[in-house]
Amino acid sequence: MQHIVDRRLAGKNKSIGNRERFLRRHKEQIREAVKRAIDGRGIRDIERGEDIHIPRRDISEPVFGHGQGGVREIVHPGNKEYVSGDRIARPKGGGGQGGGQGQASDQGEGEDDFVFALSKEEFMQVFFEDLALPHLLRTQLAEVPEWKSQRAGFSSDGTPNNLHVVRSMRGALSRRIALGAASRRELVEVEDRLAECRRMLQPGDAVMEAEIKALVACIEALRHRVGRIPYLDPIDLRYRSRIRVPVPTSKAVMFCLMDVSGSMDEGRKELSKRFFILLYLFLTRHYEKIELVFIRHHTQAAEVDEENFFHARETGGTVVSSALVLMEEIVKARYAPGEWNIYGAQASDGDNWHHDSGRCRELLNDKLLPLCRYFAYVQVAEEEQNLWDEYTQLLDANRHFAMRKATEPSMIYPVFRDLFKKEGAKAA
C-alpha cells in the first residue's frame, strides 16, 4: 500500500480543511437552509451567499469528563468557606452538566443558534448538487466561457503586425535627443570657438593655428559621436498590447411560462423555479444583458412580476396556447430577433384542454421556434397528457427544442444536456 503525504504549506485561509469537514458533517442542515433560501429569493438573486443557522444542540462535540467516585484533590481558587481537611458533600442531582439548557425558564438566558456565512461558491455548489449536475458543468457554470480581446496599452515586445510605428518613432526621437543633447551642446560651443579663432587668426600665428586644428579635430569627433547614435534601436519599438478578458456577449431575453391552475401545487412550482434558475444561470455566462419575462396562465395568460409568477394560484381549467400567443406578441413588440437572443422555458403539469394541445404544437412549430435559439419544456408530473404527445412530434424537426419530465430536482439537468453539448458554439 502506498501512502501519500501532502506537505504543501497551508494557504492564507489555514482553516479551510476544518471548514470543509464542518460542511460535510452538517450537510443536511445546510441543504435545507439553501432550499429555504432559494424559495425566498428571486431568480436574479440566486448567486450570492447565505447565513446558515444551526441549533447549538446539533453542533455539540463529544467531551471526556471525570466519573463519580474516586479520591481527588481539588483546589478552589478564592475559597473562603473551607480549610484543609474539610469534607465537601457531593452536589445533589444527576452527574450530567447540561441540566435542561433547552427547557423554558423564567430566569437566565437561552442560547442562540450557531450562525455562519456560506460563501457564494459554497451556496452554488450545494444548489448544483441538488440538481445532480456533473462537476464539469458546475465549473462551466461557475466560470465565464466567453472571452474577448481588449487593448492594454503598449509593450516592448510583440509580433510585427502589432508594431505601432508612430509610438516607436516617437520613442526613437526622444532617445536620440536625450543621448545626443550633451554632444550637440558641446559641438555648438566648439564651433563658436572655431569661428572666433578664425576671425582672430593673424598670419604667422602658430599658436592660433594649432588651436584651430585641435578645434577642427574635436568637431569631427563630436559629429562622429552624434552620428553613432542609432536612428532606431530595438528598445524604441512599441507594440500594441492586447489581453483576453472574460466578458459576456450580446443580450438575451428569457421567457418563463408556467401553468398556475389549481393542479399546480407549491411543490410543482418549486420544481419549476429550479428549472428556470438553471437556465438563467446558463444564460448569465453567455450574455451581458438578460431580461426576464414572466408569463403565467390558466385559461388566460398574463405577463406578471416574479412574485406573482411563483406564488399566485388560480382555479379552473388550463389553456396553454394563451401563454404561447402572448409570448409571440411580446417578442414582436419588444424583442426583435435580429437584436435579441430569445430563449423560452415552459413548465407545466401537462394538463391542458384537449382541443388546445394541437394548437400549442402549431404555435411552437410555426411561430415561436423559428424565433428562439432554444426552447425547453419540462413537465413536472409523471402522467403523460395530450400536451406531451403533441410536443413530442416537434423533437425530430427542431434540434433547439428539448422536453423532459421532472418529478424531483435531480431530473432537471437532462433538459439542458443538449444545450451544454453546444458549448463550443459561440452565442450569436
Together in a domain, 182 and 52 = no
Together in a domain, 329 and 276 = yes
Together in a domain, 124 and 231 = no
Q: Which amino acid is at 320?
A: V
Q: Give the burial string for 372-393 (b: 16+ CB within 10 Å, else e).
A: bbbbbbbbbbeeebbbbebbee
Please check whether residue 5 lies inside any domain of the structure: no
- All three cell numbers of 207: 599658436
pTM, 2 dp: 0.51
Task: Say what the pLDDT of residue 47 is.
Answer: 62
| Of 75 and 168, more confident | 168
Q: How far apart are CA 294 and CA 256, in angstroms?
A: 5
Angle, nearest 10°, between helix axes 27-40 and 16-25?
A: 80
Q: Give the burial string for 195-234 (b: 16+ CB within 10 Å, else e).
A: eebeeeeeeeeeeeeebbeebeebbeebeebbeeeeeeee
pLDDT tier at 421, thresholds 50, 70, 90: low
Residue 361, pLDDT above cutoff 90:
yes
Task: Say what the pLDDT of residue 134 is.
Answer: 47
Please check whether residue 202 lies inside any domain of the structure: yes
pLDDT tier at 138, thresholds 50, 70, 90: very low
3-state helix, strand, coil in the chain (%, to 5): 45, 15, 40
Structural domain harbouring 336: 251-424
**Percentage with pLDDT > 90 across the chain:** 11
Together in a domain, 207 and 262 = no
Q: How far apart are CA 100 and CA 90, in angstroms?
A: 20
pLDDT tier at 44, thresholds 50, 70, 90: low
| Of 111 and 325, more confident | 325
Together in a domain, 226 and 264 = no
Together in a domain, 118 and 24 = yes
Please check whether residue 189 lies inside any domain of the structure: yes
Task: Say what the pLDDT of residue 100 is.
Answer: 44
Together in a domain, 279 and 351 = yes
Together in a domain, 28 and 171 = no
Please check whether residue 145 lies inside any domain of the structure: no
Please check whether residue 143 lies inside any domain of the structure: no
Task: Say what the pLDDT of residue 102 is.
Answer: 43
Q: Which amino acid is at 8?
A: R
Count of domains for the chain: 3
Please check whether residue 380 lies inside any domain of the structure: yes
> Any idea what the CATH number is for the domain that residue 265 is in?
3.40.50.410
- All three cell numbers of 143: 466560470
Q: Which of 185, 212, 240 is the endpoint of a domain?
A: 240
| Of 267 and 52, more confident | 267
Task: Say what the pLDDT of residue 328 is.
Answer: 94
| Of 182 and 88, more confident | 182
pLDDT digits 0-9 by tens, 172-198: 888 888 888 888 888 888 888 888 888
**Beta-sheet pairing, 301-304 with 289-297:** antiparallel
Please check whether residue 79 lies inside any domain of the structure: no
Give the range among 138-147, 220-229, 336-345 with minimum mean pLDDT: 138-147
Task: Say what the pLDDT of residue 314 is.
Answer: 67
pLDDT digits 0-9 by tens, 297-353: 888 899 998 888 877 766 667 889 999 999 999 999 999 888 888 889 999 888 888
Where are any strands of DSSP class E within 10-91?
50-54
**Percentage with pLDDT > 70 across the chain:** 69
Give the range among 187-201, 248-262, 407-421 with minimum mean pLDDT: 407-421
Together in a domain, 264 and 413 = yes
* Cell 458554439 sits on residue: 425
Instruction: Give the helix ranges, DSSP H, for 26-68.
Output: 27-40
| Of 102 and 274, more confident | 274
Task: Tell me the range of 86-100, 319-333, 413-427 where mean pLDDT is highest.
Answer: 319-333
Average pLDDT, the chain: 76
Together in a domain, 262 and 389 = yes
Q: How far apart are CA 269 and CA 280, in angstroms?
A: 16
Together in a domain, 223 and 267 = no
Please check whether residue 395 lies inside any domain of the structure: yes
| Of 315 and 228, more confident | 228
Residue 289, pLDDT above cutoff 70:
yes
